[in-house]
Amino acid sequence: MNIPDELFYTESHEWIRIDGDKGYIGISDYAQHNLGDIVFVELPDIDIEVNAGDQFAVIESVKAVSDVYSPLSGTIIEVNENLEGSPELLNEDPYENYIAVIAFTDISEKEKLMSAEQYEAFCIEEDKK
C-alpha cells in the first residue's frame, strides 16, 4: 500500500496535498484498490463552496458508487478534466491524478486530518473489520 508521507488523509480515504493556500484532493491507493476498476468520475463544479466533510464528487467503479468528501473547507478552483475521458487514471496513480484543487479557508482544519503513519494504522484496522 502506497501512502506518501507529505500528504494528509481522511477516514473516508481522501488525501490532500497542501501547496501554499490551495490543496490538491484525490483518493488514496487504499481507496482505489478497494473500489476496483474505476469507470466514471463525476467532477465538481468550479467555484462551489464546500465545508470540510462535504461530498463534492462521485466515483463509480465496477464494484460500487462512492462519494468523495472534501478534507478542508474552501472553494473548488480547478478540476482534473483528464478524469472525464480516462477515469482509470485514478487506478493507475491515485496520487499523481488528483480530482480537484481547493482554495481553502482555514488551514487549522488540517489538524483534524491523519498523517501518513496514522492513516496506515487506520487502514490496517479497516482491513481487520
Q: pLDDT, tens digit, for every residue of 92-114? A: 999 999 999 999 999 999 999 99
Question: φ and ψ at 83, to 5 degrees?
Answer: -75, -20
**Are the CB atoms for 121 and 113 separated by under 8 Å?**
no
Whether this prediction's pTM lies above 0.75 is answered by yes
- Count of other CB atoms within 10 angstroms of residue 94: 23
> Each residue of 10-47: pLDDT tens digit?
999 999 999 999 999 999 999 999 999 999 999 999 99
- Identify the CA nearest to 52 among candidates 31, 75, 32: 75
Cell of 53: 466533510
In 3-125, which ranges are E strands?
A: 8-9, 14-19, 22-27, 38-42, 49-50, 55-61, 65-69, 74-79, 100-104
Q: Tell me the domains of the chain and their CATH numbers.
A: 8-109 (2.40.50.100)
